[in-house]
């Protein structure tokens, strides 16, 4: 069915976001309050995720949670651990106000450690990681394109490398 949709090869993989969120939200950086996590959708919506959020480890429960989020605007009622609003990626990055690094296979080569050090020197660094199965970002993405490896990596691997090396630069000096 996805093949018949426009850009079908870039759709239908919420599992990529699920695994990446599990990695990010369970990280030491997040537990230490050093991480803010957002998900920007292809339809210019931003999911704000509070650091104390523990998303379901079960994928089907995660999908149900995200369906609730899209229908209600925030979940759970009262706590709003997840909240969605209409916002473009450029607007989100500008709102955060820090230097943005866009993870891209054709970007400026940096080792994961160099990127971690660069992030540690910024007041509000932003790291943008694409979470689609194929292709590239649809439009212009604000920030400097950087690459931490000479070949494409899975999204969750990039998330892990970036966070672990940021932790190393900030917490384990």
Q: How far out from the chain centre does Cα 164 lie? A: 15
Domain ranges of the chain: 2-170
What pLDDT does 12 receive?
Answer: 60
- What is the enclosing helix (H) or strand (E) of 53? none
CA distance 109 to 123: 22
CA distance 19 to 149: 20
CATH of range 2-170; options 3.40.1280.10, 3.30.300.30, 3.90.1170.50, 3.30.300.210: 3.40.1280.10
pLDDT of residue 6: 59
Q: List per-block mean pLDDT (blocks of 10 residues) for the chain, which spans 173 residues.
A: 52 85 97 96 94 96 95 93 96 94 94 97 95 78 94 94 97 84
């Amino acid at each position: 069915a996805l093949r018949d949709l426009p850009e079908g090869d870039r759709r239908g993989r919420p599992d990529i976001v699920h695994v990446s969120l599990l990695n990010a939200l369970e990280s030491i950086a997040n537990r230490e309050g050093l991480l803010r996590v957002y998900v920007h959708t292809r339809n210019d919506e931003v999911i704000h995720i509070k650091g104390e959020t523990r998303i379901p480890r079960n994928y089907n429960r995660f999908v149900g949670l995200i369906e609730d989020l899209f229908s209600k605007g925030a979940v759970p009622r009262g706590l709003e651990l997840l909240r969605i609003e209409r916002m473009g990626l450029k607007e989100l990055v500008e709102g955060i106000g820090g230097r943005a690094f866009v993870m891209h296979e054709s970007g400026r080569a940096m080792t994961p450690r160099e990127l971690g050090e660069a992030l540690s020197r910024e007041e509000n660094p932003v790291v943008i990681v694409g979470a689609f199965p194929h292709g590239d970002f649809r439009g212009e993405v604000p920030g400097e394109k950087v690459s931490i490896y000479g070949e494409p990596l899975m999204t969750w691997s990039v998330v892990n490398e970036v966070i672990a090396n940021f932790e190393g630069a900030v917490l384990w000096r």
